[in-house]
């Protein structure tokens, strides 16, 4: 579960962060001091739950939700955490999961997070069920597709279109010839998913689709350079040199593999 705290009171932020840190089901959480910062974070990352204050200096929490809807942004499960009981009706009109009054207890926040987590899981399951007809249609056409979650959306891509995958901190970048997708996933998990589609691990933080490989160049250092269609080159470290064996069986001349 990924959580964003939006509250201009630092004491409340700290108390919520302490509660989130103690939960084993919270994968990651961020904090925003106001709705402007929250909008920036929501534009670049995806969250399952929003712990949201209502009365803040720039925009209210309910106005933030209205802006997200106007921008057609996917909404996390919303838990309002506020000192103002009079705003409860407006909050629940926006399909809020829960409404916790300040000063809050650990128990009240944990109960709200449990409900929000169940809501988020249910919505993800509903998205997958809705996508099943598309998956079945694609499978009948003979094009293998995999589902990925990117910025709150579920996208279906053909693994054969992916040239390479590279780790970027807590994310991985799926690189195609024309664009790329940033996913919050480990490189090891992605390697396992893509193994049946001809991907090999060439570095602890990189995979390459063998169908795009046009050249393998040995270096004096013991490493290899692997060039793909389009000209980009990737380094193959010694520990993953053995993964090149299926390709190097087709060596010609001086040991370089050429496919162009």
Question: Per-10-residue mean pLDDT for the chain, 260 residues long?
Answer: 91 95 92 88 84 81 79 77 66 67 91 84 53 50 62 71 88 86 82 86 91 83 83 86 72 42
Phi and psi at residue 56, in whole multiples of 5°? -130, 170
Q: Under 8 Å CB-to-CB from 237, ≥6 apart: which residues?
A: 202, 203, 204, 223
- The predicted pLDDT at position 129 comes to 45
Q: How crowded is the C-beta side of 168, counted as CA atoms within 13 Å?
A: 13
CA distances from 191 to 121, 157, 185, 248, 252 (A): 25, 15, 10, 21, 29
Round to whole Å and give the CA distance between 245 and 260.
Answer: 19
User: What's residue 23's pLDDT?
Assistant: 93
Q: State the CB neighbour count (10 A cutoff) for residue 21.
A: 9
């Amino acid at each position: 579960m990924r959580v964003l705290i939006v509250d201009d009171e630092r004491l409340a932020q700290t108390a919520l962060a302490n509660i989130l840190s103690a939960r084993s089901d919270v994968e990651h959480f961020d904090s925003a001091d106001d709705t402007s910062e929250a909008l920036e974070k929501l534009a670049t990352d995806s969250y399952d739950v929003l712990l949201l204050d209502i009365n803040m200096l720039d925009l209210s929490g309910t106005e933030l939700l209205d802006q997200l809807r106007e921008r057609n942004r996917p909404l996390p499960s919303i838990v309002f955490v506020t000192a103002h009981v009079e705003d409860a009706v407006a909050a629940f009109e926006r399909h809020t999961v829960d409404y916790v009054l300040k000063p809050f207890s650990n128990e009240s926040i944990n109960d709200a997070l449990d409900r929000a987590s169940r809501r988020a899981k249910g919505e993800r399951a509903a998205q997958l069920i809705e996508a099943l007809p598309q998956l079945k249609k694609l499978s009948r056409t003979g094009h293998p597709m995999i589902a990925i979650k990117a910025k709150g959306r579920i996208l279906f891509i053909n693994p054969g279109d992916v040239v390479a995958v590279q780790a970027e901190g807590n994310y991985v970048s799926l690189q195609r010839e024309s664009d790329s997708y940033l996913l919050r996933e480990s490189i090891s998990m992605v390697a396992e998913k893509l193994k049946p589609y001809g991907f090999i691990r060439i570095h602890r933080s990189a995979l390459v689709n063998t169908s795009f490989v046009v050249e393998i160049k040995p270096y004096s250092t013991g490493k290899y350079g692997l060039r793909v269609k389009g000209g980009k080159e990737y380094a193959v470290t010694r520990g993953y040199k053995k993964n090149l064996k299926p390709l190097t069986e087709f060596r010609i001349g001086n040991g370089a593999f050429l496919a162009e």
